[in-house]
């Protein structure tokens, strides 16, 4: 009787486990290793002729100035987005955990930008920068706003950082809200009884207690910034003059515009290694902090 029950339980486990594993292998594992194999070939993405070139794609990659330039742009973009989105997200999280009337309504309203798809959001802001901002600039006589930010290489990068930070800060706000909510009220009250002001309470009580949330938000922003594609394509299309072509968008252009899938996949492997190292570092620091606590 017991043996029959065990067999039935194993059948149920296999019924749910095996299909999920097969889907995961088909959708993730096989394409991953297939992509690595493509990086060692010369392929135009159309025909069935694969020419094995060994490490040639990687050799060309590390001597390609345009690749390193796009990686440098991505690094600067990441710095801007990480700082701005975390400052805004942290500020909103602190504000929306205070005694503010209608804070749940504000949380919902502020989170809405994160629901909008990257492509749609990019086109919306492209229209705003091209017509809305320029109209306001012309009406007020402000020359630097009278022309679209997307037509200037430096301003276009700033515009992309602003749009991405605007969307990402809404997501980070939720994490910071959870962090501030878990701060024991007794500690805050004790600090206030001892005469600590609002700034002192924030710096010495609240901030140290949400270090794990800060770590998660920082690394989450870094990873998402390195992998950004939709906003880059829809907002600036890498322009003007390729001044905003980030690494993910460059991989897309190399594969689907230049039809150099082997070279593009080699770039994708390098990007994967960078993101994987960042993720491993995040996991290590998060676990280390939990052990210390």
pLDDT over 80 at 157, yes or no:
yes
Q: What is the pLDDT of residue 50?
A: 87
From residue 263, give the alpha-carbon distance in Å to each of 42, 50, 239, 252. 8, 13, 22, 11
Which of the residue ranges 54-63, 131-140, 265-274 would you say has the lowest mean pLDDT? 131-140
Q: What is the rounded CA–CA span in Å between residue 106 and residue 149?
A: 29
Residues 24, 246: Cα–Cα separation, whole Å: 29
| Upstream peptide bond of 228 is cis (omega within 30 degrees of 0) | no
- At 8 the pLDDT is 65
Residue 270: both structure tokens together: 């390098």
pLDDT the model gives residue 59: 92
What is the helix (H) or strand (E) element at residue 120, kind and residue range?
Answer: helix 118-127
Residue 88 reports pLDDT greater than 90: yes
Give the three-class secondary structure for 50.
coil
pLDDT band at 5 (very low <50, low <70, confident <90, very high): low
Q: Is the peptide bond before 236 cis (omega within 30 degrees of 0)?
A: no
Distance between CA 165 and CA 102 in Å, rounded?
24
Q: Are 194 and 83 in contact (CB under 8 A)?
A: no
Supply the pLDDT for residue 272. 92
The domain locations on the chain are: 60-292
Question: In DSSP terms, which residues pair with 52 in a beta bridge?
Answer: 41
pLDDT band at 143 (very low <50, low <70, confident <90, very high): confident
User: Distance between CA 30 and CA 123 in Å, rounded?
Assistant: 34
Q: Residue 117 gets which letter from DSSP?
A: -
**Full-prediction pTM beyond 0.85?**
yes
Q: CA-based diameter of the chain, in Å?
A: 87
The most confident of the ranges 75-79, 135-139, 196-200 is 75-79
Identify the CATH homologous superfamily for domain 60-292: MetI-like (1.10.3720.10)
pLDDT at 70: 94
The Cβ of residue 221 has, within 10 Å, a number of other Cβ atoms equal to 24
Tens-digit pLDDT profile for residues 213-256: 888 899 999 999 999 999 999 999 998 888 999 999 999 999 99
Range of weakest confidence among 59-63, 70-74, 103-107, 260-264: 103-107
The two three-digit tokens of residue 215, written as one number: 């770590």
List, as one string, the DSSP characters of the chain.
-HHHHHHHHHHHHHHHHHHHHHHHIIIIIHHHHHHHHHTTEE--SSSS--EE-TTHHHHHHHT-HHHHHHHHHHHHHHHHHHHHHHHHHHHHHHHTTSS-TTHHHHHHHHHHHHHS-HHHHHHHHHHIIIIIHHHHHHHHT-HHHHS-GGGSHHHHHHHHHHHHHHHHHHHHHHHHHHHHHTS-HHHHHHHHHTT--HHHHIIIIIHHHTHHHHHHHHHHHHHHHHT--HHIIIIITT-STTTT--HHHHHHIIIIIS--HHHHHHHHHHHHHHHHHHHHHHHHHHHHHHHH-
pLDDT higher than 90, residue 14: no
pLDDT score, position 168? 92
CA 285 to chain centre: 19
Give the pLDDT score at 67.
92
Mean residue pLDDT of the chain comes to 87
Average pLDDT over residues 282-290: 75
């Amino acid at each position: 009787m017991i043996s029959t029950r065990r067999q039935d339980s194993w059948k149920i486990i296999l019924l749910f486990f095996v299909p999920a594993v097969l889907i995961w292998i088909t959708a993730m594992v096989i394409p991953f290793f297939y992509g690595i194999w493509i990086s060692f070939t010369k392929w135009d993405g159309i025909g069935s002729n694969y020419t094995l070139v060994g490490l040639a794609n990687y050799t060309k990659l590390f001597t390609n100035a345009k690749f390193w330039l796009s990686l440098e742009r991505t690094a600067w973009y990441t710095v801007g987005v990480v700082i701005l989105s975390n400052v805004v997200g942290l500020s909103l999280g602190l504000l929306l955990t205070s005694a503010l009337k209608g804070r749940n309504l504000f949380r919902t309203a502020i989170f809405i930008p994160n629901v909008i798809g990257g492509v749609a959001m990019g086109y919306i802001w492209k229209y705003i920068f091209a017509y809305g901002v320029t109209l306001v600039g012309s009406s007020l006589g402000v020359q630097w706003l009278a022309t679209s930010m997307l037509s200037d290489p430096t301003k276009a990068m700033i515009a992309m950082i602003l749009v991405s930070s605007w969307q990402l800060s809404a997501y980070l706000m939720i994490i910071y809200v959870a962090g501030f909510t878990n701060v024991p009220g007794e500690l805050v009250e004790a600090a206030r009884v001892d005469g600590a002001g609002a700034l002192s309470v924030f710096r010495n009580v609240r901030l140290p207690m949400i270090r794990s949330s800060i770590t998660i938000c920082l690394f989450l922003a870094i990873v998402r910034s390195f992998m950004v594609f939709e906003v880059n394509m829809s907002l600036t299309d890498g322009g003007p003059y390729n001044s905003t072509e980030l690494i993910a968008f460059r991989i897309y252009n190399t594969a689907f515009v230049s039809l150099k899938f082997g070279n593009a996949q080699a770039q994708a492997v390098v990007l994967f290694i960078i993101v994987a190292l960042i993720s491993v570092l995040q996991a290590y620091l998060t676990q280390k902090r939990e052990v210390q606590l």
